[in-house]
Structure 1
Amino acid sequence: MTEDAIARFAAQSRDDLGFLLLAAADAVVAATLAEVAAQGHPDVRRVHVPVFAHVDATGTTISTLAERAGVSRQAMTGVVRELERLGYAATAPDPADRRALRVTLTPLGAGYCDAATAVSRRLTDRWADRLGADAVDLLRTQLRGLAAGTPD
């Protein structure tokens, strides 16, 4: 019974939309990180990406970063501390709540964002060359729709 359930799950997973989306996202992130590492940011790892993706230009509290990334505050604190140690982020007391820490990016962190943006554009251009610009635009539109909610 257990073995059958595991086998059915594994078979379904190969074509499951959620698994395919996760695998595609993992591949894109890995390719981006590899190219950005070659441009001078070898210490940035996958676990750091949510900080860059969710921090506001004026700074964001660790609690808000954690909520946006879907992780615990404790986990986000560890990631932020590591980025701080690497020189990509800085923390200071939040002016609105002195008990909270506000995270901002340093010039090195902003440089990572610029490099990652350029790499992302190049990767997107490669996909457009391979699949066609219209197909990439359609895929982007469809993914936005999926990200907005689940089908009824």
Structure 2
Amino acid sequence: MDAEDYADRLEAEKARSTVQLLFKAARLLNERAIERVRAKTNRPLRIAHTSLLPHVDLEGTRLTELASRLGVTKQAAGQLVDELVEMGLLERVADPDDARAKLVRFSKRGRAGILEGLAVLAELGADIERLVGPAKMRSLHEVLTAVVHAEAARGPAVEQQRPAGGDRRRR
């Protein structure tokens, strides 16, 4: 199969895949949401930041746990946290269970920012509803809710692993 035939087949397979369309829609909507948040807040938010935010528990999360949840090194997670702290969205506080450890949690501005982000998502939802109509939007919401519940009930599909270069202790 030559490169042109492969490219045609690849595009045809992707177009037939509902899950591929879901991934693409999610990526495009995430980009649009970030664009709107940047315009409203003047914050230099990036996709990497929005990948980290859902993993921050409201009561706070240790950096090592954030790195594990993201599947990145502690240093990579730390860089994202540093950037979000600089933006005023996250803060580091003492861990009440371990005086040596710190928790990363949303700052007051960060909690407000989450609500602002959800308002942007509501705007994007309204845009989609104008495109497809209220009935299809309700159906889409019902289908996605069912998928999320079913996948969440199954548990993590991929075991969290240390990234390459992670724990190098001898066992």
Which range, TM-score by smaller chain? Answer: 0.7 to 0.9
Structure 1 counterpart SS, 2:57: coil
- Name the CA distance, whole Å, in 2 between partners of 1:123 and 1:58: 29
C-alpha displacement at 1:56, in angstroms? Answer: 2.3
Q: Can you list the C-alpha shifts for 1:82-122, whole angstroms capped at 9, x where unaligned?
A: 21223221113422234543111223322321221111112
Contact kept? 1:41, 1:112, Cα under 8 Å: no
- 1:13-61 C-alpha deviation (Å, 9 max, x unpaired): 2332332111101111111111111111431111111333232222122
2:43–2:87 CA contact under 8 A, matched in 1: no
What's the RMSD between the two structures over aligned residues? 2.7
Q: Which has the higher helix share?
A: 1
Whole-angstrom CA distance in 1 between matches of 2:114 and 2:42: 10
Q: Which residue of 1 aligns with 2:92?
A: 91
CA distance, structure 2, for counterparts of residue 71 and residue 89 of structure 1? 19
Q: 1:121 to 1:93 in 2, by over 3 A?
A: same
Residue range with higher mean Cα deviation, 135-144 or 71-80: 71-80
Amino acid at match of 1:18: V
Unmatched runs of 5 consecutive residues or more in structure 2: 155-171
Structure 1 110/41 Cα, relative in aligned 2: closer, same or farther at 3 Å? farther
Q: What is the TM-score with the length of structure 2 in the denominator?
A: 0.71
CA distance in 2, matches of 1:11, 1:126: 27
CA distance in 2, matches of 1:122, 1:78: 30
Decide which moves more: 72-81 or 120-129. 72-81
Q: Secondary structure of the residue that 1:103 maps to in structure 2? A: strand
Equivalents in 2 of 1:17, 1:135: separation in Å?
Answer: 16
Q: Which residue of 2 aligns with 1:66?
A: 67
When normalised by structure 1's length, the TM-score is: 0.79
* Matching residue of 2:139: 138
Q: Number of matched residues?
A: 150
- Take 1:99 and 1:10, find their aligned partners in 2: how far apart are those partners? 52
Question: Counterparts of 1:21-32 in structure 2 under 5 Å?
Answer: 21-32=22-33
Matched, 1:16 2:14: no
- d(CA) in 2 for partners of 1:134 and 1:69? 36
In structure 2, the residue matched to 1:110 is 111
Greater Cα shift, 96-105 or 82-91: 96-105
Distance 1:73 1:120 in 2: 30
Call closer, same or farther: CA 1:129–1:11 in 2, change over 3 Å.
Answer: closer
8 Å contact from structure 2 (residues 95, 102) kept in 1:
yes
Greater Rg over alpha carbons, structure: 2
Stretches of structure 1 that go unaligned for 5 or more consecutive residues are none
